[in-house]
Amino acid sequence: EVLNPPDAASMHTRFRVDDIASFPHSELVRITEAFYRFKSIGSSDIDVDDLEKVLSHLGYLKIDPQEIAEITQKLTKFCTLDYEEYMRFMRAYTSYERSEVQQVFRAFDEDGSGSLDTEEIEQVMCSFNITPFRSTVESAIAVVDENSTGTVEFHEFVHLLTIYMKTEGFTRHEVKDLYAVFWQFAVTSA
């Protein structure tokens, strides 16, 4: 799973539409399934404390506990959300995330070209307290650069961040090596 990059089309959905009601049916199903996966046992509600896990599970790039608290306080005075409140939360948080990621992209697009080069992407990573190797960044760009320009446009940037989060910064080759070592010892010690 880690070796296969996330589907670019599904990754960009929440950055292209203004409201989750416009999401494809498959994405709405994923959001609904996350509600049922994380809701409190024996209850029809989800605990507000579990929303960070829900967002992480759904692959959100920007998970901000303070923003989660602000949104939920506007929705309810309780520490749980019913399904309708959860969907309103997801709508508000999706809008927040889109705005934040676009703002980061624009801030680091120093030349105003509408795309980020390797150096600008390294600066973005450093702003997230990640110190990537240039080869790792170049490898990630190669995976997401749909038009082979050597730069990354916004939708490719979203894809790159998702892959980077999913692989925790490891290149495809490093992940394969790690799996090989794991399986060598997992099989030997089993």
Amino acid 60 reads Y
Give the pLDDT confidence of 123-176 residue by residue, as tens digits. Answer: 887 776 667 777 777 877 888 888 888 888 888 888 777 766 665 555 556 556
Among 28-42, 61-75, 148-162, which is the least confidently predicted range?
148-162
Predicted confidence (pLDDT) at residue 3 exceeds the cutoff of 50: no
Residue 1, pLDDT > 50, answer no
pLDDT over 80 (residue 114): yes
> What pLDDT, in 10s, does the model give residues 175-189?
566 656 666 666 555
Residue 5 to residues 64, 93, 160, 164, Cα–Cα distance (Å): 24, 24, 9, 10
User: For the whole prediction, is pTM greater than 0.75?
Assistant: no
Calpha distance 37→83 (Å, rounded): 12
Task: Tell me the percentage of the chain whose pLDDT exceeds 70.
Answer: 73
- Mean pLDDT calculated for residue range 80-97: 92
